[in-house]
Chain A
Amino acid sequence: MSEEKQEREPLFSAKNLKLVKGPLNLNNPITVQVLGICSALAVTAKMKPAIVMAISVMVVLAASNVVISLLRNGIPPRIRIIVQLVVIASMVILVDQVLKAFVYDISKQLSVFVGLIITNCIIMGRLEAFAMGNKPWPAFLDGIGNSLGYGLILIVVAFFRELFGSGTLLGVQIVPPGFYNIGYENNGLMILPPMALITLGVIIWVQRYYKRELIEENK
């Protein structure tokens, strides 16, 4: 019955749209599901690598969600982790080769973090939680939604770090040069790794302040 109903659903029904919108705020993969922190923080010193990283994760997540969802009835449960890792690793190799070919500088800046998309918990988590039990089209939307949520946080963190750390955005000078003459200094601490953690902590604070239902009990 439910199978039949799904087939008649329009491609962008309300339920499907929710798959895309949910992860942007209430079910955000980074701040709520706590997945994929590793790569989220390391690439956010500048906007450009953050955007490239977000796009790479989107490609890998959407593609491997679809592949696993197509294969979901043929994968023996005992070896599913290995199968998922192989699918993800092949997608990541593709993305890595494309990045090396077209944006070599950024690929050098991202260094090992492109490879680490393989062990990015968002991807394993979504494959396990969603793609193993759903049809390809919802799985694709789920992949897009979650990687948008991930990219959103990445870009917000990178925005603050680049603006306050280097006074630029996407490499364009934003803080007027006159400010430096009257004593304004770039905050060098923002470029350093620990500030990424603190910025993210503050983002979580702001989000939970407005979304009371996300607050954790003191346990």
Chain B
Amino acid sequence: MQEIFNIFVKSIFIDNMVFAYFLGMCSYLAVSKTVKTSVGLGIAVIFVLGITVPVDYLLNEYILKPGAMVWLDPAFAKADLSFLSFILFIAIIASMVQLVEMVVEKFSPALYSSLGIFLPLIAVNCAILGGSLFMQERDYQSLAQATSFGLGSGVGWFLAIVGIAAIREKIRYSNVPPALRGLGITFIITGLMGIAFMSFLGIKL
């Protein structure tokens, strides 16, 4: 149990998707102009990461890993399909996003109208595919660990985008050198936030 909680905290603060691995930077830069929209996108990312990482974990565990298909037939003990993981993961992500969109639309129209426009964007957000690929590379031991990693990374991404959006709302009133306005200053602020987040590196988990 403690192990699972550790993974959760670690993926929020220490291995933060944005500050440590630069994942999902495209939508991070494009949608962080106001706090309201960035909260919407952040929640959608938590949601989709929390679903796709466990699903891709099961896929990896029972189909893709070398020898994973033994449960079908002992003859498959030597089969190694791991080279297919990119294409299968992206297919799972694209279809999960579509599914989530349909389910949310059906059961919670209010949530749909606030998340709606962001959901299709998420299929091509590197943070989502990155979550699945890191899950595969770090070799998590159980479904619970993979789920807590997915949710934790989502929360970390959420914190990062809401933080930068709040700063960008304020910086509109500052006198930034003309050539740095917009993109340039956003990069530099993100770098400074990344340095701040590095202070969590000392935490031993």
Binding site for B on A (CB under 8 A): 31, 34-42, 81-82, 85-86, 89-90, 92-93, 96-97, 111-112, 115-116, 118-121, 124, 192-198, 200-202, 204-206, 208-209, 215-219
Residues of B within 8 A of A34 (CB): 26, 29-30, 183
Residues of B within 8 A of A35 (CB): 26
Q: Mark B153-173, 1 if CB is under 8 A from A, else 0.
A: 000000000000000000010
Q: Which of A38, A111, A192, A208 contacts B126 (CB 8 A)?
A: A38
Shortest Cβ gap from A210 to chain B (Å): 9
Binds A, one of B16-24, B69-77, B108-116, B140-148: B16-24
Taking each of A39, A195, A201, which has the highest tally of chain B beta carbons within 10 Å of its own beta carbon? Answer: A201
Q: For the side of the interface on B, what is the size category?
A: 35 or more
Secondary structure class of chain A's binding surface, majority of residues: helix
| A215 touching B178 in the complex, CB below 8 Å, given contacts A81-B123, A201-B184 | yes
Cα(A121)–Cα(B30), bound, Å: 12
* CB-based contact A193/B22 at 8 Å: yes
Select from chain A the residue with minimum beta-carbon distance to B187.
Answer: A201
Which residues of B in the span 70-92 have a Cβ within 8 Å of any Cβ on A? 83-87, 89-91
Name 5 A/B residue pairs within 8 A (Cβ), A-sorted.
A85-B124, A116-B129, A118-B90, A194-B195, A215-B179
Q: Which of A38, A116, A197, A216 contacts B191 (CB 8 A)?
A: A197
Nearest 4 CB-CB pairings of A with B: A194-B194, A201-B187, A216-B182, A197-B191
Shortest Cβ gap from A97 to chain B (Å): 6
* CB-based contact A116/B123 at 8 Å: no
Cα(A116)–Cα(B120), bound, Å: 18
Cα(A119)–Cα(B123), bound, Å: 8
| A89 touching B86 in the complex, CB below 8 Å, given contacts A34-B26, A119-B125, A193-B21 | yes
Residues of B within 8 A of A42 (CB): 21-22
* CB-based contact B86/A196 at 8 Å: no
* CB-based contact B183/A31 at 8 Å: yes
* CB-based contact B188/A93 at 8 Å: no
Residues of B within 8 A of A120 (CB): 126
